[in-house]
Structure 1
Amino acid sequence: MLNPCSPPLRQHTAYEQPWFVLNSSRYAVVPCEHPAISHFYAFDVAHSADLLAVPDGCVDIVFDCDATRPSVKICGTPLQAQRVELLQGHHYFGVRFAPGVIPGFINVMAEDLTEQEWDLLQVSAFAQSIFENIVNAPLLQDQIKLFNDYMGPRLMGRTSKLTAIVIQQALAHRGDLRIQHLEDLSGYTSRTIHRQFSQDTGVSPKTFFRIIRCQAALDTLNNQRDVSFSDLALDLGFSDQSHFLRDFKKLVSTTPCEYQRKMLQSAYNERIRFA
C-alpha cells in the first residue's frame, strides 16, 4: 500500500494553463520541492482577450504587482474553461499548489474555493504581513524566497490520509481510475471516500479524475506532434474517441486538433522559460 503521508506523485513539470502562456509576453516557471506546491510562475499579460483558465485541480495565489494598485487573489480550480480577468501590461507573480492541496493559512472552506476567487488579504491574516514586500520585490527569486520564508510552515492544509491516497492514485494513473480500485486499496467504502475527498478538496473524486485526465491530455498534446486522438482517448480510459473530444472541448474550450495546431503555431513550449 502507498504511504498515505508521502507527497503526491507529479506527472508534469507544471500543471498546464496554456491560455495564460499564449497571452503572455514572457512566462517563467520555477519548480518547487515542497510537497504542497507544484511551482511558482511569473508573466506579463500581452493580450487580455481570450484569457481562460482550464481545470487543473489546483489552487493558485496570484499577485498583481502593479505599482499603483497591487492586489492578490486566491483562486480555486475551475471545472470547465473559465474566463479570467487579468490586466494587459500588468506583471503577475503566482504560486500554484499541487493538485488537491488547500493551503493551511486561509479561512475559506475547500468547497467555497472551487470556481471562485477571493481577495487573499481578506481571508488570510498571514498574507497581509508579506503582501507589500512580495509585490515590490524586483526579482522572481526574491518573491519566491519571501513567500517560502514566511508561508512555508503554513502551506500544508488539513488533507486526510484517505484523500492523500486518492490524489496519489489519480496522478499515478493520469486520472484513469475507478472507485472500486480505491475501495480495495484503502479499505473504505465509496461513500466514505466521496465524502472525505469532497470535504478536503472541494470537488468529488470523479470530478478530480476528470480534471487530471484533461491535464494528461494537454501534456501529451504539448509534447508529442503525431498524436492519434483515438489512441490517446484509449490510453486515458475514455470509452470512445467522441467522448474524449466532447470532454476536452468543454474543459479547454477548443478541440484537441485545434488546440495542438495553436500550440505548434505559437511554439508553446519555447514560450515557457524554466528558471
Structure 2
Amino acid sequence: MITEKTYMPEQPFFQLSTTDYVSQLSLCDRGVAQYYSFVNLNADNDIIAVPDGTIDIIIQCSGNHPRAQVCGSVKKGRQVQFELGVKYFGIRFFPGTADALLQCPLNLFTDQEVLLENVYDRADELAERISNATSFKERICLFKKYYAKRIRENSSVSTLIPYLINKINKSHGDIKVGDLAEDTGYSTRHISGQFSRAVGISPKLYSRIVRFQRCLGLLWGQKQLSYASLAQDSGYYDQAHFINEFREFSLCTPAQALGTSIQ
C-alpha cells in the first residue's frame, strides 16, 4: 500500500495567483489527494505549475464550453494557461494512482494537457454535469460517483510501484535508484521503466521532486529560514545547488516565491 500521508503534493501558485480558491484534502478516496477550485484573474492567463509527480484532472466549469483535461506530470516549472475569469474544478491524484482512472501508461501525459474525452469516450458527460453543479461540494460528489464506477473496471494492483514510491517519500527524496534496485532485487532498468509508465516520470526525477516539495513546505511553514538552512534541511548539496534547482522547478527564486527577503 502507498502510505500517502508521507507526501502531500503542493501547487502554491494555483492558490497565490487565483481568486475564490477552495481546497479539500482527500485521504479516503482511492488515489485522490485533493479536490480544488479556483477562478483565474491573472491578466496574462498563466499560472506556474511546479513539479509534484502527480496527475490532475482539471474541468472548466464556466466559459464557452465545459471540458475536462488530463494534466500530466511536469518535469520542470511550467506556465499553464487558464482562461480569464473562468471557474475551474480540479482533482489531484497521488503519484502512481491515476492509472486506475485513465487505464493507460501515465508517461503518455507527461508535460502535456490532453482532453479527457480522448482517453475515455463519455468524459464529456462528466464535464457537463460538473459544470452545471452549483457548489464545490456537489462537484466533489459527482466526481466520486463517476470515479467509483470507472475504477471498478481495473482491479489489478501492482505492489512494486507503491513500494518504490513509499521508499522515496520516506527518504524525502534522498535515495538512489541503485539502492532501490538492491532493496527490491530488480534491475535499475526494470525499476526505471516500470516507474515511468506508472508515475509518468523516472524514479530519479521523482526523488528530486520530493526533495523540492519538502523545501516548499519548509519555505511556507517557516518564513524566516535562510537559504543555507533551507538547502541543508531539504537535503541539497549546497546553497547554489538548492537555488538552481528551485529556479528550474518554480521559475523563480525562493525569495520571489515567498514575496519577501531571505538571507
Give aligned pairs, total.
Answer: 258
After TM superposition, give the deviation of residue 107 of structure 1 in Å: 5.8
After TM superposition, give the deviation of residue 73 of structure 1 in Å: 0.6
Q: Percent identity?
A: 31
1:37 to 26, 32, 35: 32
Give the whole-Å Cα distance in 1 for the aligned partners of 2:255 and 2:96.
29
After TM superposition, give the deviation of residue 108 of structure 1 in Å: 4.6
Task: Confirm whether residue 115 of structure 1 aligns to residue 111 of structure 2.
Answer: yes
Provide the residue aligned with 1:267 in structure 2. none
Contact 1:78 1:114 in 2 (8 A): yes
Structure 1 SS opposite 2:81: coil
Structure with the larger RCO, 1 or 2 (CA within 8 Å, 6+ apart): 1
After TM superposition, give the deviation of residue 71 of structure 1 in Å: 1.3
Q: CA RMSD in A?
A: 2.2
After TM superposition, give the deviation of residue 163 of structure 1 in Å: 1.2
Contact 2:66 2:127 in 1 (8 A): no
Shift in CA distance, 216/131, structure 1 to aligned 2, threshold 3 Å: same
Provide the residue aligned with 1:72 in structure 2. 68
- Runs of 4+ residues over 4 Å off in structure 1: 155-159
Provide the residue aligned with 1:268 in structure 2. none
TM-score between the two structures when normalised by the length of structure 1: 0.86
Structure 2 SS opposite 1:78: coil
After TM superposition, give the deviation of residue 67 of structure 1 in Å: 4.9
After TM superposition, give the deviation of residue 263 of structure 1 in Å: 10
Where in structure 1 are there 5+ consecutive unaligned residues?
1-5, 265-275
2:5 to 6, 10, 20: 10
Give the whole-Å Cα distance in 1 for the aligned partners of 2:241 and 2:22.
34
Structure 2 SS opposite 1:10: helix
After TM superposition, give the deviation of residue 48 of structure 1 in Å: 4.2
TM-score between the two structures when normalised by the length of structure 2: 0.89
Give the whole-Å Cα distance in 2 for the aligned partners of 1:212 and 1:66.
34
Shift in CA distance, 41/263, structure 1 to aligned 2, threshold 3 Å: farther
Structure 2 SS opposite 1:84: strand
Give the whole-Å Cα distance in 1 for the aligned partners of 2:118 and 2:178.
41
Shift in CA distance, 88/43, structure 1 to aligned 2, threshold 3 Å: same
After TM superposition, give the deviation of residue 155 of structure 1 in Å: 4.5
Task: Confirm whether residue 93 of structure 1 aligns to residue 89 of structure 2.
Answer: yes
Where in structure 2 are there 5+ consecutive unaligned residues?
none
After TM superposition, give the deviation of residue 153 of structure 1 in Å: 4.4
